[in-house]
Amino acid sequence: MSETGLQAGTLWLREITRFCRQRSRVIGSFLQPLVFWILLGAGLKASFKPAGMPAGMNYFQYLYPGFIVLVLLFTAIFATISTVEDRREGFLQSVLVAPISRRTIVLGQALGATTLAWVPSCIFLVLAPLAGIRLTLGAVLFAASMMAVIAFALTCIGLLIAWKIESTQGFHAIMNLILIPIWLLSGAFWPVAGAPAAMQLTMRLNPLTYGMSALRASLYTGQTAGAASLPATLFAVAIAVAFALAMFALAVRTAEHATAF
């Protein structure tokens, strides 16, 4: 194995080992979005039918992919938050003085956090029949790949912020101010097509909208009118992948310029 691979691999393994030893994190990252989805979906299913929602679909089904992305968002962000304190008073200190490039550090961290976000979201995927969504093998593979791409992008956003700021309190503020709105405006709660014009524009400019669309498309494969109002699938996939790579590049740049104090 190349030295870079060994280095990134060991950082990845550390994230996984730590996560598995903290049961509450494992359970929390999965249960919170599940509860939200069930309560919101069940409560709004009967009365709520946003404009632009594909025909033949209820709101419970519409919300389902949105909450898969919420699982990804929560886990990805909480897996990266340790970077803030770790680099001043923890494990990362010794990584920073090791013969390893910042790019490799970010790669190892991103792959670790992506894995941590991806596994619980796959468990969420098993619940698709609850939402009335029939999954084919192709749909599962497509959805799981899209979930990995979205997880990687969100993880890199988390790292980008974590390398930039000084305190975890700041991290929570940014999380509530930026990340949750990005999620809300990605089409998780309501379709782009039915939103007011100004919001539509914002939603179309939001890169996460495309990851969300691609995930929807993958889940509704084989369903009837599923993807009608969504952007073309291939286009959405391309934007989602490009977004993930761009966020990685930005996170690397931020880490390269970050000082240790």
Partner 1 sequence: MSVSASPTPSDELSAPIDARADSQSASPTPAAEAAHVSFSYGDRTALDDVSFTIARGEIFGLLGPNGGGKTTLFKLISTLAPLQAGDVRILGCDLRHDTLALRRKLGVVFQHPSVDGKLTVAENLAHHGRLYGISGARLKARIAAMLDQLGLSARAGDLAETLSGGLKRRVELAKSLLHEPELLVLDEPSTGVDPAARREFLNYLAHLRDAGGVTIVLTTHYMEEAERCDRIGVLHQGRLVAIAPPGELKARVGGDVVVIVAREAAALSARINAQMGVATMMVDGTIRIERPRGHEFVRDVVEAFGAEIETVTFGKPTLEDVFVKLTGAAFHAGPPMAE
Does 23 bind partner 1 (CB under 8 A)? Our answer is no
Does 13 bind partner 1 (CB under 8 A)? Our answer is yes
Residue of 61, 62, 71 lying closest to 36 (CA atoms): 71
Grouping H, G, I as helix, E, B as strand and the rest as coil, residue 246 is helix
Rank residues 47 and 259 by Cβ distance to partner 1 and give the closer one.
259
Residue 24 burial class via C-beta count within 10 angstroms: exposed 0-12, middle 13-18, buried 19 and up:
exposed
State how far the Cα of 252 lies from the Cα of 75, in Å rounded to an integer: 20
Task: With contacts defined by CB under 8 A, name the span among 12-20, 111-119, 123-131, 235-243 that binds partner 1.
Answer: 12-20
Residue from 42, 91, 225, 232 in contact with partner 1 (CB under 8 A): 91
Residue from 23, 24, 94, 129 in contact with partner 1 (CB under 8 A): 94
Does 100 bind partner 1 (CB under 8 A)? Our answer is yes
Q: How far is the CB of 97 from partner 1 (least distance, A)?
A: 5
CB 4 within 8 Å of CB 104: yes
Count Cβ atoms below 10 Å from residue 241 Cβ, excluding itself: 18
Residue from 177, 197, 198, 260 in contact with partner 1 (CB under 8 A): 260
Q: How far is the CB of 261 from partner 1 (least distance, A)?
A: 7
CB 235 within 8 Å of CB 140: no
Rank residues 22 and 169 by Cβ distance to partner 1 and give the closer one.
22
Given CA atoms 84, 87, 92, 96 in this order, what sign does their dihedral have? positive
Rank residues 101 and 224 by Cβ distance to partner 1 and give the closer one.
101
Rank residues 98 and 246 by Cβ distance to partner 1 and give the closer one.
98
Does 45 bind partner 1 (CB under 8 A)? Our answer is no
Does 24 bind partner 1 (CB under 8 A)? Our answer is no
Does 181 bind partner 1 (CB under 8 A)? Our answer is no
Does 166 bind partner 1 (CB under 8 A)? Our answer is no
Residue from 27, 39, 42, 98 in contact with partner 1 (CB under 8 A): 98
Residue from 47, 129, 205, 261 in contact with partner 1 (CB under 8 A): 261
Residue 171 burial class via C-beta count within 10 angstroms: exposed 0-12, middle 13-18, buried 19 and up:
buried
Does 90 bind partner 1 (CB under 8 A)? Our answer is yes
The HSE-up count of residue 149 (CA atoms within 13 Å, CB side) is 25
State how far the Cα of 151 lies from the Cα of 132, in Å rounded to an integer: 24
Lookup: tokens for 85: 């304190």
Residue of 124, 151, 164, 152 lying closest to 34 (CA atoms): 124
Contact residues for partner 1, defined by CB under 8 A: 1, 3, 6-7, 9-11, 13-14, 17-18, 21-22, 88-101, 259-261
